[in-house]
Amino acid sequence: MTTIKYLSICSGIESVGVAWNLLGFECLGLSEIDPFRSAVLNYRYPEVKNHGDFTKIEKEDLSSRPDILVGGTPCATFSVAGYRKGIKSSRGNLALEFILLAERLNPTWILWENVPGVLSSNEGKDFGSFLGGLAEFGYGFSYRVLDTQHIRTQRFPRAIPQRRRRVFVVGHSGADWKNPAKVLFDKISLREADKPVRRKSLQNTCQLERELKESDRMYWKKINRKGEFVTESEKNEVSNTLTATGRFSMPQGPIILKDEGPCENQNYSDDVERNDCLRILTPVECERLQGFPDNYTQIPYKGKPKEECPVSKRYEACGRAMSINVMEWLGTRIQKVHQGEI
């Protein structure tokens, strides 16, 4: 069996590597320019070269041709929560640079990720330009929106309790769309009767770092325009989307856990008793909501020990990452199609 080799660009903290290492894939290189995320890569993958700016990578920089080119170019320019400048912005234009890199390296597969807003950016013309570029350079493609909370794998048989919808484009050289479609559209996930049941508890599916007493209750809360807390305790308890700020996407708002006992430096609204502690999720809990091992983002940084790793950087790194269970599912599907098992 031939080892599948891949190049990861816009690597972040390398969700791909965590997901694909157990599949036996070989990483030919990484590409990240952010200082903290690059430090995480250097700490977790010291033997793999970080090429930095992926627009400057040439085929001579790699030991061999990659079977898969994978990455998620910056999404803020396409997000409905962002400025929506699309591919006209320098960050949005990186989506087209991704295609140019594929032309230079000629991988068999491409796997590209972005936010659902890319589908409507510039009335859909930006996404159309991206797909048109793939077709121009000889790639057949298929795309699908996948949600973290519904993707079950061998390592995550109950999925991960985070509501995180992302667009994934799979391309295959030879202008044939059938192989990409085989990857994204398996019969089981398309059958309504087999749709995964949404889990009712973060505590059951993704253990909280800090144990809650039986008398404690976990609430989903959102902040309205007046800044007051509104309790939604009857809804299914699945995390809203983690964002780069370490908070959660609107309109649902942040998720706040209610613990018993006093809590320092808390601002309370009139309807919250002062003997209750309201807290956001910890960095470890955010790592678990993306499928990472505990303290994956806790590293020595800028001459300080890992115990003093800046929390804000850890939140941001988790919020920008791709979910491990989704990447494991996609890697497994690509592997099976690549080897002719599907």
Q: Which pLDDT value is given to residue 175? A: 76
Distance CA 148, CA 302 (A): 33
Residue 218 within a domain: no
Residue 258 within a domain: no
Residue 245 within a domain: no
Mean pLDDT, the chain, integer: 78
Confidence of residue 173 (pLDDT cuts 50, 70, 90): very high
Confidence of residue 80 (pLDDT cuts 50, 70, 90): very low
Q: Which residues are catalytic?
A: 75
- Whether omega for the bond prior to residue 300 falls within 30 degrees of 0, making it cis, is no
How far CA 134 is from CA of 100, 130, 173, 268, 332, in Å, comes to 9, 7, 9, 52, 23
Total domains, the chain: 1
Residue 171 within a domain: yes
What SS3 class is residue 292?
coil
Residue 260 within a domain: no
pLDDT at residue 230 tops 80 = no
Tell me which of 122 and 7 has the higher pLDDT.
7
Q: To the nearest whole percent, how much of the chain has pLDDT over 70? A: 69
pLDDT at residue 84 tops 80 = no
Residue 88 within a domain: yes
What is the DSSP-derived secondary structure letter of residue 50? Answer: B
State in Å, rounded, how far the first CA of the chain is from the last one.
16
Distance CA 32, CA 299 (A): 17
Residue 52 within a domain: yes
Residue 223 within a domain: no
What's the domain range around 118?
5-197+321-338
DSSP-assigned beta bridge partners for residue 68: 6, 109
User: What DSSP line would sit under 221-284, residue for residue?
Assistant: EEE-TT--EEE-TTS---BPPB-TTSSB-TTT----EEEES--TT----TTS-TTEEEEPPPHH
Q: Domain containing 99 — which CATH number?
A: 3.40.50.150
Residue with tokens 């973290």: 148
Q: Which pLDDT value is given to residue 63? A: 95
Could you write out the three-class secondary structure of 186-221?
A: CHHHHCHHHCCCCCCCHHHHCCCCCCCCCCCCECCE
Q: Which pLDDT value is given to residue 245? A: 66
Half-sphere exposure of 184 (CA within 13 A, CB side): 24
